[in-house]
Structure 1
């Protein structure tokens, strides 16, 4: 297949037809690019698991349109939402927030990884919304869409990243670089209390203010968490080994390696120096949103430059950096 411009109505209609027919389409969201299939067709969803090399019990997020079409999709995929979840929908949809809710029986079992719960999101990207509306008009109520990369690897934030992963295997709708750059915040709403499963651009503080309840820590509850996308201990990993280090340790390591250092890339907020011309030094933005936007592209660039080891300065504490810190910790665990 090929890359098509997401601003083209013809490209959107073509993508909707492919999805209706049970095929796969890569599409942009404000977080990362997704690998989409008709969420209601288990055979189509099986194509996602096969293409990514993803275990079939690891659930996917279902993307729905905004407005009336999204409301109809909610009632199709989910049982009635608790009041605090309804508040979150009103506050953050369309946007980078996924809600884990109780699934309607007999619907989207494969996308849910066989669980009684399902993850739903309404993305804010205009190309994603155009595609979801076109799909809804053709009878595709929701599009299952994990990140468009091989399982466990660095997520794609451009159409070119998707091509690097899959070559010419599928239709890619190009919506430009992703504005947020890391995956959505995930809140479990299936147990009667809001529980944060994955941090993202929407922070704890924002969620609590919107829903009027304190976020519970996943470890506080006796019941096990529902499985959710991107919550494995090791995930988002580049080919190079990644280590998180404080700034002082980074500079000490560079000094010890000296002029002989090679195949090493460093991403840090602090200014660092190396005596080796074969060390790649790149500054991390001081702004957490800008750092999130760059994160996956930087890791992919380091891999492309031949780095065998990536050193990253540990992000600051605080809710604004929690999403970036989470992705780096999981990448380091791989």
Structure 2
């Protein structure tokens, strides 16, 4: 399959009638899948009502079929076309954070979406992205768009169109390139089917942000059992992993370097996923920076690109610095733990 490429400049002025957007939207209406930028990462979009389109998403990504997809809409009122009911606190969250990096899980309206989108669950995950190109594309397509991250399943999510092409060229109908994404990590996913919201996947909207609007919130990010169908993306399978095994290490840069020295003495080539503040301390085969410890939003934005960059290095193992799990740091550590398969190096 030829993967079409559309470059979109002048993002702030983009609208649904741009020729590039119209061509991409036409392919979505015909049941094809197209990658496009959001404020978080690049998504791989297909018609959420059409089985064949959803099947193409799973096939292109190599994604397990029991991993539900997030449905993207372009207008807040469209949530009522997909949801059977929306709690009052969820309405408040929508009004505060949409468009933006927040996904709400609510009871679905029967017979509207492909059952493949929701993996047979009685709930649906919905969000309204905060990116002009994404909103223009969804509006022009005129349908709800199911869109997981536009990468091969398990790999780091794409924050540039080139990342998408590296993984999916020849496997999808096209990619809309509108530059690098902003947040860099996928949306916060919140279960809104109970008495109060529960964060299933942390992201740019924090638990504290949600609690401030809803009055109460909690977090439950435990991986589910193999026989269970996950309620949200990222709850069951390993994600975001570079090719070399990744380990997380909490401690000083000096203690991390001692571990690097130990592994190098065993003949291993070692990479370090580092913050700018600690770069001067490391002597390793590859030192790749993801951002500043003093600005965790920069780490969120740079994390996936840094993980992908290790695939160009000949390393046998990667040690990642741990970051404070507060605010957006909770999302960073959530993604790092999944990328590492929960492998930590003890400092004792």
User: Is TM > 0.5 for Structure 1 vs Structure 2?
Assistant: yes
Which of 280-289 and 320-329 deviates more?
Answer: 280-289
Residue in structure 1 matched with residue 345 of structure 2 by the alignment? none
CA pair 227-12 structure 1, distance change in 2 beyond 3 A: same
Distance in structure 2 (CA, Å) of the matches to 1:196 and 1:51: 28
Partner of 2:111: 106
| Root mean square deviation of aligned Cα | 2.1
Equivalent-residue separation in structure 2 for 1:116 and 1:211 (angstroms):
23
1:128 maps to 134
Instruction: Report 1:11-26 matches (<5 A).
Output: 11-26=20-35
How far has the Cα of 1:283 moved from its partner?
6.2
The number of residue pairs the alignment matches comes to: 321
Aligned-pair CA distance for 1:232: 2.2
Query: Are the equivalent residues in 1 in contact too, given 2:86–2:106 (CA < 8 A)?
Result: yes
Contact 2:199 2:217 in 1 (8 A): no
Quote the Cα distance in structure 2 between the aligned partners of 1:115 and 1:11: 35
Matches of 1:226 and 1:234, distance apart in 2: 13
1:207 aligns with 2:210: yes
How many angstroms does 1:267 deviate by? 1.6
Q: Aligned partners of 1:307, 1:271: CA distance in 2, in Å?
A: 18
1:10-159 to 2 correspondences below 5 Å: 10-66=19-75, 70-71=76-77, 73-108=78-113, 109-136=115-142, 140=143, 142-159=144-161
The equivalent position to 1:231 in structure 2, one of 229, 235, 244, is 235
Contact 1:153 1:237 in 2 (8 A): yes
Structure-1 separation of matches of 2:260 and 2:317: 12
Map of 1:308-319 to 2, 5 A cutoff? 308-319=316-327
Q: Structure 2: where are the runs of 5+ without partners?
A: 223-227, 343-348
Give the one of 272, 280, 287 matched to 1:280: 287
| Partners of 1:240 and 1:303 within 8 A in 2 | yes
Contact preservation (8 Å) 1:98, 1:120:
yes
CA change 1:281–1:291 in 2 (3 A) is closer
Give the distance between the partners of 1:75 and 1:283, measured in 2 at CA.
39
For residues 218 and 155 of structure 1, do their structure 2 counterparts lie closer, same or farther at Cα, with a shift above 3 Å needed?
closer
1:330 is aligned to 338
Correspondence 1:289 to 2:289: no
Q: Name which of structure 1's ranges 301-310 and 319-328 shifts more when overlaid on structure 2.
A: 301-310
Q: How far apart, CA to CA, are the structure 1 residues paired with 2:327 and 2:188?
A: 12
Which ranges in structure 1 are unaligned for 5 or more consecutive residues? Answer: none
CA gap 1:325/1:164 in 2 versus in 1, 3 angstroms? same
Instruction: Tell me, yes or no, if the aligned pair for 1:30 and 1:124 is still in contact at 8 Å.
Output: yes
CA distance in 2, matches of 1:35, 1:2: 14
Residue 40 of structure 2 is aligned to residue 5 of structure 1: no
Query: Deviation per CA, 1:20-79, whole angstroms, max 9, x where unpaired?
Result: 00001001001111111000111211111111111222100000003xxx41x2122111
TM-aligned CA distance change 1:133 to 1:309, over 3 Å: same
C-alpha distance in structure 1 between counterparts of 2:213 and 2:66, whole Å = 32
SS of the residue corresponding to residue 218 of structure 2 reads: coil
Are 1:272 and 1:281, in contact at CA under 8 Å, matched by a contact in 2?
no
Contact 1:119-1:228 at 8 Å conserved across structures: yes
Paired residue for 1:190, among 193, 211, 221?
A: 193
Question: CA–CA distance in 2 between the matches of 1:251 and 1:275?
Answer: 7
CA distance in 2, matches of 1:226, 1:266: 32
Change (3 A) 1:15 1:230: same
> Secondary structure of 1:19's match?
helix
Distance 1:21-1:285 versus aligned 2 partners, 3 A rule: same
